[in-house]
Amino acid sequence: MTRVKEFNLPDLGEGLTEGEILKWLVGVGDTITLNQPIVEVETAKAAVEIPAKWAGKVTRIFHAEGTMVEVGQPIIAIDTDPGAGELPADDLPQPSAESLAAVEVAGDAPVEPGLIGGPAPGGRTAVLVGYGPRTAVAKRRARTAAPAPVSTPAAVPRVPAAPPQPEPARAQAAPTAPQPTAPAPRNGPVLAKPPVRKLARDLGIDLGTLVGNGPQGSITRDDVLAAQAAPAAVATRAPGEREERIPVKGVRKLTAENMVASAFTAPHVTEFLTVDVTRSMKALERLKAHRDWRDVRVSPLLMVAKAALVALRRHPMVNSTWAGDEIVVKHYVNLGIAAATQRGLIVPNIKDAQDLTTRELADALTALVGTAREGRTPPADMTGGTFTITSVGVFGIDTGTPILPPGESGILCFGAVREQPWVHKGKIKIRQVTTLGLSFDHRIIDGELGSKFLRDIGAFLEDPEGSLLAWS
């Protein structure tokens, strides 16, 4: 049996056929342990860390960072018995240039791409079902020289790079105010830590156009932020270039496909309702002051989510799916919350939200939003949604006409809460007011049902205590 086993890109979620290699966490020659995270991959739904399926020594990395890989293709080769001596001829690795290219990832010492420079605080936890948490600590090693023809793994050189020569301008120039200069073309790899690379990728900045001010000319976080803040000082595109082309992939690609499919499949209808939510805002303040809620993050979204769950219980047909020859009514609510992230719009959902207490719902919302902002939402949390809430109020927008997520028949848009003059008990007073927008699938929900459902959400927000007493 061969000692070297090829690890193929696994199926990371329902219907996903490919993923992008974001960052290698190990390099050729590394000794790894079972379940150790080895690579970060972005799919159309999330960015996940993939753990090692076997312990051993990395003999080959098949794809460089930034490469799209189909599910089932090999991504890494592992010698599962490195202590058994030299590899048989059939198992000899074929090193690739990208697997040996060095980048700086921690401290002053450059190491191979994506190698962890030290243990992560608290360790790492595997994100795929069936794998346990990481317990091993990755070790840093010296920078490797350019690859030479090899016949065995032992022939892969691991010699320190020559000491860097100081740039004449930095070594001899007197301290003067920095002058903007065009970056010189780079012939070798760009030195930058993985967090800096991620920041540049998120901001759309090409690291190859920047001049590094870190150790050995590496690019720092400050260099990237300076490039964003002062576009005239550091060129981020060719002179005279008037257009920019951004590849459509990952989360953005899936979102676009889903929105087009939904918009031209389900006949959308949108209704609006302006509501006095003063009592709901006062109820939130009372919750914050309650001794059992002092450490809980409470926002108006909690009241809207609770209102939607109560209204769905009263009108279960809204929580359904059009299945061609039949309508599937769900007697459970997987409550989706639209979240804007650096990788695009995602809609993770809270499973069985109808069974949660108000406190449990608040905790679930906090965890969902926090995980989404960190870009760590697992694919399983973005499937199976039954009803969605999108909050545009956080951007200062009053309301909108949201598009249904595929497979759902209703989505609620929650706008900004503003102080406005309002007729209250026969007098004009300053009240806290918001506007709700409900889009629904007219094949399932007619105007009467949609109006009653939206009316009940509004009634709950106007008087949450009275509504709970009346409808419980």
Residues marked active site are found at 442
Helix axis angle, 358-373 relative to 300-314, nearest 10°? 120
Q: Which helix (H) or strand (E) is 263 found in, with range?
A: helix 250-263
What distance in Å separates the CA atoms of residue 111 and residue 192, rounded to the nearest whole number?
11
Total residues found in the chain within this entry: 472
3-class SS string, 393-443: HHHCCCCCCCCCCCCCCEEEEECCCEEEEEEECCEEEEEEEEEEEEEEECC
Q: How far is CA 332 from CA 351, 383, 446, in A?
A: 8, 14, 21
* CB-CB contact of 274 with 461 (8 Å): no
Phi, psi angle pair for 98, to nearest 5°: -70, -30
* CB-CB contact of 56 with 62 (8 Å): no
**Through-space distance between the first and last CA atoms of the chain, rounded to whole angstroms:** 65
Beta strands at 387-391 and 335-337: parallel, antiparallel or unpaired: parallel
Token couple for 52:
């090692």
What distance in Å separates the CA atoms of residue 350 and residue 81, rounded to the nearest whole number?
43
What distance in Å separates the CA atoms of residue 183 and residue 170, rounded to the nearest whole number?
15
Cβ contacts of 297 within 8 Å, gap of 6 or more: 362, 366
Token couple for 283:
């109820």
Residue type, 68: M
**Residue 170 CB-density burial (10 A; 0-12 exposed, 13-18 middle, 19+ buried):** exposed
CA 364 to chain centroid, in Å, comes to: 18
Closest Cα partner for 16 from 39, 48, 54, 61?
A: 48
Between the CA atoms of 69, 74, 79 and 81, what dihedral angle is there, to the nearest 10 degrees?
A: 120
Q: For the chain, how big is the Rg over CA atoms in Å?
A: 27
